[in-house]
C-alpha cells in the first residue's frame, strides 16, 4: 500500500511540475509577444520551453543568488579599500601639514609659518627702528613705523609703469 501512495505522490508532483511548466511557458510567450517581430522569430517554442524548464529546476535562481552574494562581497571589499585609502591620504596630508620642531615634536605648518612671520616682523621692526633713530633723533622709534604704515593708505597707486600717482 505504501508503494501505491508513493507512486500517487510522484504522479501528483509530476502533474504540479507540468502545470508550473505550462504557466511559466505561457508567461514567457506573453513576454515574447511584446518584443519586436525580429526577436520573436529567434525565440522558438522549444527555446521557450527549455527556458521554462530551467526556471523550474531552480539552478538559475541559485546562480543568481550566488552572483548576488559575490556582488555584495565585492562591494564591501571595495568600500573597505576606499576607506583605507581615504585614511592613508588623510594621514599623509596630516604629515605634510606638520613640521618637526627642534624639540622633536611635530608642529602644524601654519604654526611654524606664523612663528617665522613673527620673527621676520620683529627683525624688520628692529632694523627700521635703528634706521629711524639715525634719520630723526627727535621722534621715538615706535612713532615713525606707525606713521609710515598709516600713510600707506593715503598714497594713490597707478597701474601704469613710470607714473607714481603723485
- Helix, strand, or coil (residue 100): strand
Q: How far apart are CA 110 and CA 108, in angstroms?
A: 5
Q: Which range among 101-110, 123-132, 137-146 has the greatest average pLDDT?
A: 123-132
Segment 49-73 shows an average pLDDT of 90
Residue 152: its pLDDT value, please? 45
Give the whole-angstrom CA distance, residue 79 versus residue 73.
10
- Which range has the worst mean pLDDT, 31-45, 62-76, 138-152? 138-152
Segment among 46-50, 118-122, 127-131, 154-158 with least mean pLDDT: 154-158
Measured over the CA atoms of residue 14, residue 16, residue 19 and residue 24, the dihedral's sign is negative
Instruction: For 106, list phi and psi in degrees, rounded to 5.
Output: -100, 125
* Cα distance between residue 10 and residue 17, in whole Å: 10
DSSP secondary-structure letter at 147? H
Residue 150 has pLDDT above 60, yes or no: no
Amino acid at each position: 500500500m505504501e508503494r501505491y501512495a508513493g507512486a500517487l505522490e510522484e504522479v501528483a508532483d509530476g502533474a504540479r511540475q507540468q502545470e508550473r511548466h505550462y504557466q511559466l511557458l505561457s508567461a514567457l510567450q506573453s513576454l515574447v509577444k511584446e518584443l519586436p517581430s525580429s526577436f520573436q522569430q529567434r525565440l522558438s517554442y522549444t527555446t521557450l520551453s527549455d527556458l521554462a524548464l530551467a526556471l523550474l529546476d531552480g539552478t538559475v535562481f541559485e546562480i543568481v543568488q550566488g552572483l548576488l552574494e559575490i556582488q555584495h562581497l565585492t562591494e564591501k571589499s571595495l568600500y573597505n579599500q576606499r576607506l583605507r585609502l581615504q585614511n592613508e591620504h588623510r594621514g599623509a596630508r596630516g604629515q605634510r601639514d606638520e613640521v618637526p620642531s627642534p624639540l622633536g615634536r611635530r608642529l602644524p605648518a601654519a604654526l611654524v609659518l606664523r612663528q617665522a612671520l613673527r620673527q621676520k616682523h620683529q627683525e624688520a621692526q628692529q632694523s627700521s627702528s635703528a634706521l629711524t633713530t639715525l634719520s630723526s633723533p627727535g621722534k621715538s622709534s615706535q612713532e615713525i613705523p606707525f606713521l609710515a604704515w598709516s600713510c600707506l593708505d593715503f598714497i594713490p597707486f597707478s597701474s601704469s609703469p613710470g607714473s607714481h600717482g603723485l
